[in-house]
Structure 1
């Protein structure tokens, strides 16, 4: 019985440590779609660094011990910004699902998408090696006349229900609200992202995509 108790204590302690690490430091995540090609491929298994942007106190939005600031270019994992199961985006309900995208713009930035290319604060962003575009005909850019209504519908995560695929090539301008972020997939023509369903609240962000650990031929740090 003594040996059984010692074994039980060891298993319990190991389970407790593993649960503690997974809850506060690391989350395992599997890439479900092609929206982040070629940076992340379907089936990639990765670790998310939950401590990078600060430890979160359970059942609150309070964080502490932040190691780094969120910045443009970061790949983040977040809970989809849907408040109820009835909200429809990307062809269905995304309530409670985890998404992975790249940060494009920060709170207070003005964002447009012209001919599929993102513009921030009136300047086209330099194209990066990780961006993937298809050779397709683009919808010409057209700025909406009622900018206030456009901004409101976008912030309410409903813009794709009005304009649909049109938003892939022609979007904005909108201003990213305080404590939220504008994100896009690296596979720009095949990503349902902030163009379609709005900004990502700070409290929805779970952490920073950190390391691909499976499959073995894909093992690498994520940039």
Structure 2
């Protein structure tokens, strides 16, 4: 009889332990979903449109509440904190195909006029100073061929942004498909938490390493 009670106690203890583990896992999953939906989300950079600020193989974290809190399913804003600012690096749903996420830099805000002359960007007729920009193609294309290097002045509509990649000659951005609606913003990129180079190898030497140790932890500006 005593042994039976011991067995019952052991079974109850095992069930309690399993229940605790299950509850802990469920809570952890729910917290991860909440954090991903409202706080921070990780993204991987698949293209070179933002180099040298961001390289292929960089893994970044995006602040999802910096501009406000939205209901993910309804895409409805519950709280508004601040509007995007010029030169913010933002992740957004690609206007042409919302199933894809793009990352670019904010250049024009609602009410601004933006024009491009010989690769130089003018906002409200003032030359925009952009130390982060790189050009891989020395050619200057006329507006009749492409808006890449020369674009007539356009007015940014309300609740919209004009965005461009830092790698100006290799970026498919607002010069080609115009504006990003602010409702499509997912957040602001703020840090590189991991980075690797498929052409390298596993070593502690930063110039040869498969892992780009010198990029990990870099804040984005």
1:184–1:194 CA contact under 8 A, matched in 2: yes
Whose Rg is larger?
2
Q: Quote the residue 2:138 is aligned against.
A: 136
Distance 1:190 1:129 in 2: 17
Pick one of 129, 151, 158 that aligns with 1:178: 158
Is 2:63 the partner of 1:66?
A: no
2:209 matched residue in structure 1? none
TM-score w.r.t. structure 1 length? 0.80
Structure 1 position 221 matched with structure 2 position 196: no
Unaligned runs of 5+ in 2: 1-14, 196-212
Moved over 6 A (4+): none
Matched-pair contact (CA < 8 Å) for 1:104–1:182: yes
Count of aligned residue pairs for this structure pair: 189
Q: CA contact under 8 A between 1:114 and 1:141: conserved in structure 2?
A: no
Structure-1 separation of matches of 2:190 and 2:87: 13
Partner of 1:192: 172
- Conservation of the 8 A alpha-carbon contact between 1:75 and 1:102: yes
Q: Which has the higher contact order (CA 8 A, sep 6+)?
A: 1
Q: Unaligned regions of 5+ residues in structure 1, if any?
A: 83-93, 143-162
Selected match of 1:22 from 10, 14, 36: 36
SS where residue 15 of structure 1 aligns? helix
In structure 2, the partner of 1:96 is 99
Q: Give distance in 2, aligned partners of 1:107 and 1:100.
A: 19
Are 1:56 and 2:70 counterparts?
yes
